Structure 1
């Protein structure tokens, strides 16, 4: 089994990108934003919070410049220059007014730009038979990034359901608190599959950093499966222990070639009946080139998912047989009931023998041991943290001063 190298260009999948770049009437954008808030598709602005922040900011700036102005005025008065006293007294007021005006202008421009952006994305979605949702808090998806941190929010969701459900979106969540608070940015594509599949992760090697994978989760190295051909140059594949044969069934040479040719820059996760494509950048943008790339990736994979729908977990066969004991019982045509056994004996002998039914096919689903990968220990993070802690301890103890002091 060999996998071709990614030499073929990604196939083109037609879509209408004109709404992304066409001019937008400001009045139409404002009306669209108002309609989103009215129908609940976008939460209304927290007016009380905005007013409180604005008042606190203005009071702080006013107090600061009042103090500065008083100091300047006192200095000018002490110098005996009346004109300078008057002019210098007004400087803090002028600066304060300028700051307030600048903040208001920036807020208005930002709000209008956001409204125009949402209208463009909504028109783009409609032009391509899809729908648009500006915000969604805590999306109920099983991917690895959707259970981390707090303040989880997907934004600019573009969804379609033909030929299967697909969702393009940006995603944010935060970790830590105070000075250690960090916001994590992701773009994702979620594709609904026909049946649940084993938990499989393709960690793209092309987007890894200095300390390894950029994924937020680490998996046990014993679950890594090496595939033939060039696939290992582009992806590290992880599958649950015991599901190696199943992974080989799912990732046939033609499917591996599709991933290499079209998705080598993306991390991939298959979990339950979903496939996710991840990258640490926004996916739902006003850039036609980004959409052309994402549409080509999804389009290249869609026609290969049909063969995944035929996969069944053989580990569920015993459970299915136990629940349906009669389904696998051999059947013989023409067997009469005891009451009519004599009358039907001749007829039964004239009917050909029907062979036993095939063993019951496992139902769709995944056995418990295949539903989630085993997490690993991020040794690199621990090593880096240990080095930092050791450096701090040695520096506080003055050890470095013994070597660098003159």
Structure 2
């Protein structure tokens, strides 16, 4: 009997192809490998579908009580001169019996939701965890956003799971739920050696960003590039930084984007490069890892190289190649060293002009709307159910 091969965290993403052996390995091999690394693959703060079903069931119980008690209570109060009849009492007994059975079912549902994931779901999580480790990524889910982007504006409302981290790179899915809005994104985030001006590439194949997020871009910031690149991406850059966008989007970069990242929207913000598409990716499928590998080995390195060489000459001092550390004895101290100036982007290039309804007054309106919706779903049926019950009690 052969032992299952152990996953390696030393494999990097620079290999010719990603290591996908764990996606096809037998159940026994996967279980043995997970036992050796002793890792939890799903954090407790990630809600399961079962837990969501528990909340939906609780809301339905409240609405059931509301309709039943209000219907009987209004009949007693309005049509029977505040005098409950035997038929009313009979209906109330039947409703309470149905409620008792329902509550017992809710108890069983809650116990079922508290159980570990099904063997099939657990095996799927194990496969993606082992595949991540084999390709040099560590599973590190996060209950908050770990990078800045147009998709992480509401940072505390974002959950990143699954999330896999390697030096300077992270890939995963993020979900957000805030002020009545919710959704999911698949993303690849790469740390740049120095900041670049803000740049957004809106992929035409995955739908407009403004259709998936409550944002809008000023038309004057739209750039038209050579060839047929506009068929694949709509490019937005700060008006004063059009030349910098051309510096980044050279022909080889554009070709790589079309070949390997045509489905992804792209954002460069400060020292972070983000590729993202709507919806969650399945990390137990080979296609997800192959797409990420292609981006990390063809597209991202080209943009990283551009970032390494870029200096914003609009900022005073950025054009000085080297400066001497400010040490009093710099001229005589053999340990005195020469350092590069800290790269800085001018204020006009740090951010695009974006109309974002998640911030400012729009965020307040959305928060009020979300509170009103929760009140309607939970507080309203509870209050009316209590009022209906009191009408029945008064009519005894």
Query: TM-score if structure 1 supplies the norm length?
Result: 0.60
Using the alignment, how far apart are the partners of 1:151 and 1:252 within structure 2? Answer: 36
Is the CA contact 1:271–1:372 (under 8 Å) kept in the aligned structure 2? yes
Using the alignment, how far apart are the partners of 1:298 and 1:251 within structure 2? Answer: 17
Aligned partner of 1:129 in structure 2 is: 136
Indicate the SS of the match to 2:216. Answer: coil
After superposition, the C-alpha distances for 1:231-272 in whole angstroms (9 at most, x for unaligned) are 111111111121111111111111111111111111000011
Q: Which runs of 5+ in 1 are unaligned?
A: 1-11, 68-73, 79-89, 328-359, 383-406
Distance 1:120 1:368, change over 3 A: same
Indicate the SS of the match to 1:245. Answer: helix
Indicate the SS of the match to 1:301. Answer: helix
Indicate the SS of the match to 2:215. Answer: coil
Is the CA contact 1:204–1:266 (under 8 Å) kept in the aligned structure 2? yes
Q: 1:82-93 residue pairs with structure 2 within 5 A? A: none
Aligned partner of 1:228 in structure 2 is: 226
Distance 1:372 1:35, change over 3 A: same
**RMSD of equivalent CA atoms:** 4.6
Aligned partner of 2:378 in structure 1 is: none
Using the alignment, how far apart are the partners of 2:147 and 2:313 within structure 1? Answer: 26
Is the CA contact 1:220–1:377 (under 8 Å) kept in the aligned structure 2? no
Distance 1:32 1:271, change over 3 A: farther
Residue 312 of structure 1 pairs with residue 311 of structure 2:
yes
Specify the structure having the higher radius of gyration (Cα): 1
Using the alignment, how far apart are the partners of 2:214 and 2:37 within structure 1? Answer: 34
Q: 1:27-66 residue pairs with structure 2 within 5 A? A: 35-36=39-40, 42-43=43-44
Using the alignment, how far apart are the partners of 2:351 and 2:318 within structure 1? Answer: 20
Aligned partner of 1:281 in structure 2 is: 279
Using the alignment, how far apart are the partners of 1:97 and 1:361 within structure 2? Answer: 69
Aligned partner of 1:265 in structure 2 is: 263
Aligned partner of 1:166 in structure 2 is: 169
After superposition, the C-alpha distances for 1:136-192 in whole angstroms (9 at most, x for unaligned) are 01123111111237531100112222xxx221111011132xxxx232111110011
Indicate the SS of the match to 1:268. Answer: strand
Q: Which runs of 5+ in 2 are unaligned?
A: 1-14, 69-85, 91-96, 327-338, 363-396
Indicate the SS of the match to 2:123. Answer: helix
Indicate the SS of the match to 2:212. Answer: coil
Using the alignment, how far apart are the partners of 2:124 and 2:350 within structure 1? Answer: 39
Q: 2:162 aligns with which of 146, 156, 160?
A: 156
Distance 1:183 1:324, change over 3 A: same
Using the alignment, how far apart are the partners of 1:268 and 1:252 within structure 2? Answer: 15
After superposition, the C-alpha distances for 1:171-220 in whole angstroms (9 at most, x for unaligned) are 011132xxxx23211111001112111100001112225x9653443222
Q: 1:22 aligns with which of 2, 25, 29?
A: 25
Q: 2:353 aligns with which of 362, 366, 374?
A: 374
Q: 1:107-122 residue pairs with structure 2 within 5 A? A: 108=115, 110=117, 112-122=119-129
Using the alignment, how far apart are the partners of 1:43 and 1:30 within structure 2? Answer: 18
Aligned partner of 2:183 in structure 1 is: 184
Distance 1:97 1:27, change over 3 A: farther
Aligned partner of 2:7 in structure 1 is: none
Residue 139 of structure 1 pairs with residue 145 of structure 2:
yes
Is the CA contact 1:29–1:115 (under 8 Å) kept in the aligned structure 2? no
Distance 1:13 1:217, change over 3 A: farther
Aligned partner of 1:199 in structure 2 is: 198
The alignment of Structure 1 onto Structure 2 pairs a total of residues equal to 300
Distance 1:33 1:110, change over 3 A: farther
Using the alignment, how far apart are the partners of 1:99 and 1:246 within structure 2? Answer: 59
Indicate the SS of the match to 2:315. Answer: helix
Distance 1:377 1:286, change over 3 A: closer
Is the CA contact 1:190–1:276 (under 8 Å) kept in the aligned structure 2? yes
Is the CA contact 1:207–1:214 (under 8 Å) kept in the aligned structure 2? no
Distance 1:97 1:260, change over 3 A: same
Is the CA contact 2:158–2:174 (under 8 Å) kept in the aligned structure 1? yes
Is the CA contact 2:238–2:348 (under 8 Å) kept in the aligned structure 1? yes
Aligned partner of 2:366 in structure 1 is: none
Q: Which has the higher contact order (CA 8 A, sep 6+)?
A: 2
By how many angstroms is 1:36 displaced?
Answer: 3.1
By how many angstroms is 1:24 displaced?
Answer: 3.5
Using the alignment, how far apart are the partners of 2:298 and 2:156 within structure 1? Answer: 34
Is the CA contact 2:323–2:341 (under 8 Å) kept in the aligned structure 1? no
